[in-house]
Amino acid sequence: MVTVSAHRFEDRVAVVTGSTRGIGAGVAKRLAREGARVVVTGRTREAGERTVDAIREAGGVATFVRADMRDRDDIAALFEAAADTYGGVDVLVNNAGVETETSVAEATTEEWELVVETDFRAFWLCAKEAASRMGAGAIVNTSSNHAFLTMPEMFPYNAVKAGINGMTRAMALDLGPHVRVNTVNPGWIAIERTVSEMSGDRRRELASLHPVGRLGTPDDVAAAVAFLASDDAGFVTGTTLVVDGGRTAVMQDDTLPDYRRRLTDGPDGDDRGGCP
């Protein structure tokens, strides 16, 4: 069960990019439950309004501002709207992102620009806009465990995610001491985009590769973001927090399931009850 503090972000304004669905929507809802006034933003108004409605129905405060993270004018207008509506910005969660299923050899310049402008340049532009309106504030950048270990045909997504970790360190130096900047690095998170066409067997197989024995949820990431954005992390800046159920601790995919079977069955096939 995720513990929520109803007052941790009381009187604070949070902008969460890419918050119309998935991880971003989960983060927006979590911050609102903890007292933040949340600006939900993305390209699709209908989906954004659904997130806002869910927040309001739960007793929170939120508004939707449409913005395309590839459009510099949209980004500037987003933060102007946040300041006009709620009086300023205290927390920025850079979460908007896209990916392409392309290799280094196959990727086109158009695909490169799509990912780099959305997942990387926009993080920098949003941070500049937010920091100029912050007193003491916090920025959390969403990266990925692909920043450390990756797969074929994930370029340039994996390159950008590694770059976000470096950008976070630069931001922490240049925007401190008043603004803290950290990165959250999710792993396999069960959202519609990642599991909609996945069979039950495939999902169980993936869960077995995680030391915690399951895939992650948006709530798992939202809890980590809320910590990094809060005063509880007041001495934490310029770092990365991997939220992947221990996935990056596993070197070889078949190692963990086989190891657990040996713990459970014992050397002679007897059930020893040593593993869930």
Considering the chain, what is the average pLDDT of its residues?
Answer: 91
Banded pLDDT at 193 (limits 50, 70, 90): low
- Whether 255 is in a domain gets the answer no
pLDDT score for 273: 37
pLDDT score for 194: 66
Residues 25 and 46 sit within 8 Å (Cβ to Cβ):
no
- Whether 207 is in a domain gets the answer no
- Whether 5 is in a domain gets the answer no
Catalytic residue among 123, 155, 157, 188: 157
Q: What would the pLDDT profile of 239-257 be if each residue is shown by its tens digit?
A: 999 999 999 888 777 767 7
Residues 59 and 254 sit within 8 Å (Cβ to Cβ):
no
pLDDT at 276 over 80: no
Q: What SS3 string covers the chain?
A: CCCCCCCCCCCCEEEECCCCCHHHHHHHHHHHHCCCEEEEEECCHHHHHHHHHHHHHCCCEEEEEECCCCCHHHHHHHHHHHHHHHCCCCEEEECCCCCCCECCCCCCHHHHHHHHHHHHHHHHHHHHHHHCCCCCEEEEEECCHHHCCCCCCCECHHHHHHHHHHHHHHHHHHHCCCEEEEEEEECCECCHHHHCCCCHHHHHHHHHCCCCCCCECHHHHHHHHHHHHCHHHCCCCCCEEEECCCHHHCCCCCHHHHHHHHHHHCCCCCCCCCCC
pLDDT score for 105: 95
- Whether 276 is in a domain gets the answer no
pLDDT at 274 over 50: no
pLDDT score for 254: 72
Q: 90 phi and psi, to 5 degrees?
A: -115, -30
Q: What would the pLDDT profile of 130-141 be if each residue is shown by its tens digit?
A: 999 999 999 999
- Whether 116 is in a domain gets the answer yes
Banded pLDDT at 268 (limits 50, 70, 90): low
The answer to whether the predicted template modeling score (pTM) of the entire model surpasses 0.85 is yes
Considering only residues 249 and 84, tell me which one the structure prediction assigns the higher pLDDT.
84
Tokens of 181: 């900047």
Name the nearest CA neighbour of 30 among 177, 193, 226, 178: 226
- Whether 210 is in a domain gets the answer no
- Whether 189 is in a domain gets the answer yes
Q: What would the pLDDT profile of 14-40 be if each residue is shown by its tens digit?
A: 999 999 999 999 999 999 999 999 999
Enclosing domain of residue 17: 13-199+215-245
Q: Is 86 a catalytic residue?
A: no
CATH code of the domain covering residue 114: 3.40.50.720
Name the nearest CA neighbour of 40 among 129, 56, 9: 56
Number of domains the chain contains: 1
